[in-house]
């Protein structure tokens, strides 16, 4: 099954998603938190006066840079690129483990609950001191799973590391 429907103030519309890279903020708990708002250099995220409010994404201001992905303590922000190719999309997510996956590595991709969705290929691994020990991993997957895939099976990453 694919094509999970999600909506909320932080979820970009499909119309916006097919135009290219954009953040997808899956934060639905009204907790006092707002580093995402402060992290965005384009002012695309607004939590508002009430710090327990849900973050709102201005999808037209967002260029999908991914900075906010590593700043969210709840690991609730993802990056999507549905315009990557005619048959594949990119999904980016925060990754706080070692070893890191390697670019080009084939991986098993999972949903928000850790359930297998589809096979994918690691497209990019971004690290930076500014990310504070959190990497941004980007996986290329069949396009129809862009709203389903949110992580990868870490066991496959470890197995790959052990073979080296």
Residues that bind ligand SF4 (CB under 6 A): 23, 25, 27, 33-36, 39-40, 42, 44-45, 47, 55, 62-68, 72-74, 76-77
Nearer to ligand SF4, 38 or 102 (CB): 38
Give the rounded distance of the alpha carbon of 105 from its chain centre. Answer: 18
Judged by beta carbon, residue 64 or residue 120, the one nearer ligand SF4 is 64
Q: How far apart are CA 146 and CA 148, in angstroms?
A: 6
Report, in Å, the least distance between residue 93 CB and ligand SF4. 13
Closest distance of CB 51 from ligand SF4, Å: 8
For residue 69, the minimal CB distance to ligand SF4 (Å) is 7
Instruction: State the chain's maximal CA–CA distance in angstroms.
Output: 51
The 88-95 sheet, strands edge to edge: 22-25, 77-81, 88-95, 135-142, 116-126, 106-110, 151-152
Choice between 125 and 153, CB closer to ligand SF4: 125
Task: Identify which of residues 40 and 157 has a Cβ nearer to ligand SF4 in the complex.
Answer: 40
In angstroms, what is the minimal distance from the CB of 92 to ligand SF4? 9
Looking only at the bridges linking them, the beta strands covering 135-142 and 77-81 are unpaired
Classify burial at 120, counting beta carbons within 10 Å of its beta carbon; exposed 0-12, middle 13-18, buried 19 or more. buried
């Amino acid at each position: 099954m694919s094509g999970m429907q999600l909506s909320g103030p932080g979820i970009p519309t499909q119309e916006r998603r097919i135009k290219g890279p954009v953040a997808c903020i899956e934060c639905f708990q009204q907790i006092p938190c707002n580093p995402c708002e402060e992290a965005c250099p384009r002012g695309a995220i607004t939590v508002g006066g009430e710090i327990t409010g849900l973050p709102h994404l201005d999808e037209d201001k967002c260029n999908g840079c991914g900075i906010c992905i590593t700043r969210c303590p709840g690991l609730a922000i993802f990056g999507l690129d549905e315009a990557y190719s005619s048959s594949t999309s990119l999904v980016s997510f925060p990754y706080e483990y070692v070893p890191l996956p390697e670019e080009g590595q084939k991986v098993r991709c999972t949903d928000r609950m850790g359930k297998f969705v589809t096979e994918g290929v690691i497209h990019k691994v971004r690290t930076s001191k500014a990310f504070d020990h959190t990497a941004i991993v980007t996986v290329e997957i069949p396009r129809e799973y862009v709203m389903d895939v949110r992580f990868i099976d870490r066991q496959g990453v470890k197995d790959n590391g052990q073979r080296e």
